[in-house]
Structure 1
Amino acid sequence: MKISKSLLMTSLLPIVVATLVNTTLVNTTAFAQQPWDGTIVQYGTMHEAIGMQQHQGRVQLIDLVKQPHFYAVAALEGLAGEVTILDNKVVITGVGSNGQLTPISNVDGDRQATMLAGAYVPSWTRHSVLDNVAPKDFDQWIASSALAAGVDTDKPFIFSLEGQFTDVSLHVIHGACPIHARVQKIELPKEQQPFESELKKVAGTIVGIYAKDAVGNLTHPATSTHAHLLYKDKTTGKLLTGHIEKIGLAEGTVLMLPR
């Protein structure tokens, strides 16, 4: 994949991970024609941004969506919120002074990510979830489904899901990562308390990266996925996003894999 000059001119260059996929998929339908070239675009790592607290801005989000069909998960600079990009639509969610979720605007185009992983995917294939998938089986189910579809699961790849999700645990960072704090047994100060939520059932869309053996780079410990949920707030109707700690899939949910 060719990366635009404007993207390469940022202060810190991305890590570009090339992955190859088998584009021959059986019993699937694509809603675009061009194939994904197998490239993962990455800025920063989990260890740098969270473990080493090197959470300065590394890339302006607006630069990434100058080319079409970009999908990504990211952490806002300063670990000030979660970022999800769905087909160039940038959704940023932070934690307000009342401890509740609040959308963060990028109208001025000045928002930056400190850690980001994504891909330009103009074409996807769709695969229905035939049976409920428990949270404990989520990573393995993604890997098995991708492998069956011809994706090389030894290399990072992007995926998306849309439909009904169950037994969801998610968080939105607010200056520090709650997963890192739990692992390191760190008590976060009040001003860095994240938003954390448990949702028994919710409709929405997931954007995620599957990356085997990528702890500290692309994923948290004990997982091979880094995924965010996009969903509407029941009270305000606003579109929000959060980092998924665990999630289950309801029958009929659709998995999308890059073509």
Structure 2
Amino acid sequence: MRCAAHTFNLVASKDADAALHITVFKTPYRSALAKARTLWNQQSRSTVAADIIHAELSRRLVLPNSTRWNSLYDAIVVLNAILETKRPSLHRVMTQLKIVTFNDQDVTVMKEYAKVMAPVANALDRIQGEAQAYLGSLLPTIAAVYKLKNIKSKGLVNCTALANALLNGIEKRFGPLLNDEQCQLAAAFHPKFRLIWLETYDSSRVDAVRKCMEKRVEDALRQEAAENSKDRDSLSGGGSNVSNNDDDEEEDFSILSLSL
């Protein structure tokens, strides 16, 4: 089984790139990201620029790096928060640093980007954390990403292509696991998830998984009953040996006590 965290990274990076073939997303996204990258680069390369940013915004910007995809997501989330609460201050900073300021379309596309990418980023955080590092949490985590369908249905101005690219990537890379019986049972028997995640993701599969659970439980009970029966037969057939063993142990203990 492939590493789920690495697979989510591929969905968010490689598969998401398919959206760049759609002009409605590509043009405004690249325009907004170019301005953001210029601002991030100024902070990272110039102490003067970093001081100006801190003086105006009372904080530093979060900077993305090339090794972690979700660092770009985190950086855009912080930038969105600043644009929402301190947009005039940010524009003063960008004007002082001679950077083209963000327009309304830039703000819209970055907000939509963060909204669409949030389910994948949250899934990646859960998968990478120690608390969810077991098979039973995998399918519920994957299924939660399908809330992208609801986000898309509510209407996106620029990022519909991005949502479609992510959904296609999830289906391509995680589709076989969603149909895997072992993965389904691991989630279904988990007391936190049970079948709730499956009812949300695909309610048509609930009956089939429930029947599979019942069969597994029945098989386990039959096996346990058979083993208990064998144990009882073994005990009834070897009672004298058990008694002798107990006597030997008592005698050994008495000798040990006397020697002490």
Pair in the same fold by TM > 0.5: no
Q: TM-score, normalised by structure 2?
A: 0.24
Q: TM-score, normalised by structure 1?
A: 0.24
Higher strand fraction (1 or 2)? 1
Higher helix fraction (1 or 2)? 2
Asked which structure has the greater RCO (Cα within 8 Å, sep 6+), the reply is 1
The structure that has the greater radius of gyration is: 2
